[in-house]
Amino acid sequence: MYAIVEIAGKQFKVSEGDIVFVPRIESLEEGATTTFDKVLLVSSDGKVSIGEEYVKGAKVTATVISHGKDKKILVYKYKAKKNERKMQGHRQPYTKIQIEKITLSSSKKAAAENVEENKD
> For residue 45, what pLDDT is reported?
86
Can you tell me the distance from the alpha carbon of 55 to that of 68, in angstroms, rounded to the nearest whole number?
A: 31
Is 112 part of a structural domain of the chain?
no
Is 12 part of a structural domain of the chain?
yes
Contact between residue 63 and residue 28 where contact means Cβ atoms under 8 Å apart: no
What backbone phi and psi angles, to 5 degrees, belong to 112?
-65, -40
Q: For residue 111, is pLDDT > 50? A: yes
Residue type, 24: R
> For residue 112, what pLDDT is reported?
53
Residue type, 108: K
Can you tell me the distance from the alpha carbon of 48 to that of 59, in angstroms, rounded to the nearest whole number?
A: 15
Is 117 part of a structural domain of the chain?
no
User: For the chain, how many structural domains are there in total?
Assistant: 1
Give the domain range for residue 56.
Answer: 2-67+94-104
Is 78 part of a structural domain of the chain?
no
Q: For residue 35, is pLDDT > 60? A: yes
Query: Considering only CA atoms, which of 40, 35, 37, 42 is closest in space to residue 3?
Result: 42
118 — pLDDT class (breaks 50, 70, 90)? low
Is 85 part of a structural domain of the chain?
no
Q: How many residues are given for the chain?
A: 120
Is 57 part of a structural domain of the chain?
yes
Is 7 part of a structural domain of the chain?
yes
108 — pLDDT class (breaks 50, 70, 90)? very low
Is 73 part of a structural domain of the chain?
no
Rg (CA), the chain: 20
pLDDT in tens, 64-96: 999 999 999 999 999 999 999 999 999 999 999
